[in-house]
Amino acid sequence: MHISIGKSMRTHFQLNPEITFLNFGSFGATPKEITEDYRKWQDMLEFEPIQFTTVKGLDYLRLSREALSSFIGCDSKDIVFTTNPSYAINIIAKSLRLERGDEILTTDLEYGAMDKTWNYYASKYGYTYKRQPIRLPLTSEEDFIEQFWKGLTPKTKAIFISQITSSTALIFPVEKICGRAKELGLITIVDGAHVPGHIDLDLKKMQADVYTGACHKWMMTPKGCSFLYVKKEMQDLFDPLLISWGYGNPQVVLSQFLDYHQQQGTRDFSAFLTVPKAIEFMKNYHWKEVSAECRKLAQSNYHRFTELLGTVPLAPVNDTFIGQMCSIEIKTTEPEILKHRLYHEHKIEIPVMVHGDRVFIRYSINAFNDQEDLDRLYYVLKMLK
């Protein structure tokens, strides 16, 4: 089946037609059908606030968890909804009781908010958050794996790693990393914010101990819909960030894990309930084929942009390392000004991100993008050089 992507697909989204939108990776964008489903749940909440929140809501959440667990390959009682992956990792970092002098091994390419979280708790509890340098460009999965494990020491007790990084947009071989970590007896914690709906995810196969992903990015749910997965054997280790009605019940309603982290006082959890509609939308519009076309468009333009900007690809340009996002290193001393000009002068929404001493510009491709969008970006960058 040939799936056509481009402007005809834009009718499904509410995006400003005057903007060339190349930043799906940051917050996603929600199709109209899923937004309508979101409003339906909000209307139900307002129609019966008490019944919806305290009675029916538990069943609605269960159905949504079951749909999501089938989509990502895990047991529905092993996941709980959170507003974002940062919230999820805060649950883990706050409760992970490592000893003074222990180490968590990570890379120097992780998301800034995650680095801040781990550094905060490492400082508080006296362990070390060890950011292993990763040399770019990568040449192969084996190259990355070898570089990562050079950071292993007898003090290493856990690893934390992104499956797809934010600044570089590279896909890391997390399944192989988790396999090796399991052999070493290490706790494995994976940040998969960019993964669900972007590349295939099977948590049973991956065997991570802890995994968080966002549904409001590539799965296209409304903002504030993410999840935390914790392997059954480890769930009792992690306290809720917020102590509320789910804590310390004499009779467990669902499981301690779900009671602790799901029942947290008054809040609108309507965004969580749109997951089944989002999965239905992707199925109805053959999203695997759509994603493949988007990937092809993203990858086929990569060398063109690295040549324009006088840099090199960050890894081999193939499905192993690159999905629907591509990051290109760009030589600029004024990244914020460049980003401002791209949006306000040229109507291009795209991130320009500083990571350490490097700057990356990252384009994201989804169903409504086409070659014309990337041609426009190319033209503007060439003009601004």
Model confidence pTM above 0.85: yes
- Is there a contact between 368 and 21 (Cβ–Cβ < 8 Å)? yes
Instruction: Locate the domains of the chain by residue range.
Output: 7-22+286-384, 38-279
What pLDDT shows up at residue 263? 83
Strands (E), the chain: 20-21, 79-82, 103-107, 128-132, 156-162, 187-192, 210-214, 226-230, 325-329, 348-349, 352-355, 358-364
Closest of 305, 351, 349, 295 to residue 328, by C-alpha: 305
Q: Which distant-in-sequence residues (6+ apart) come within 8 Å of 59 by Cβ?
A: none
Query: In terms of residues, how long is the chain?
Result: 385
Separation CA 368–CA 290 (nearest Å) = 10
Asked if the domains 7-22+286-384 and 38-279 are classified in one and the same CATH topology, the answer is no
What pLDDT shows up at residue 5? 86
Residues of the chain where predicted confidence (pLDDT) is lower than 50: 1
What pLDDT shows up at residue 4? 74
Please state which of the four CATH numbers 1.10.1790.20, 3.10.20.30, 3.90.1150.10, 3.40.50.1100 is assigned to the domain occupying 7-22+286-384. Answer: 3.90.1150.10
Please state which of the four CATH numbers 3.40.190.10, 3.40.190.80, 3.40.640.10, 1.10.150.110 is assigned to the domain occupying 38-279. Answer: 3.40.640.10
- Is there a contact between 100 and 246 (Cβ–Cβ < 8 Å)? no
What pLDDT shows up at residue 249? 74
Separation CA 235–CA 370 (nearest Å) = 44
DSSP 226-254: EEEEE-GGGGGG---SS--TTTT-SS-SS
Separation CA 171–CA 194 (nearest Å) = 10
Q: What is the pLDDT of residues 307-349, one digit of tens each?
A: 999 999 999 999 999 999 999 999 999 999 999 999 999 999 9
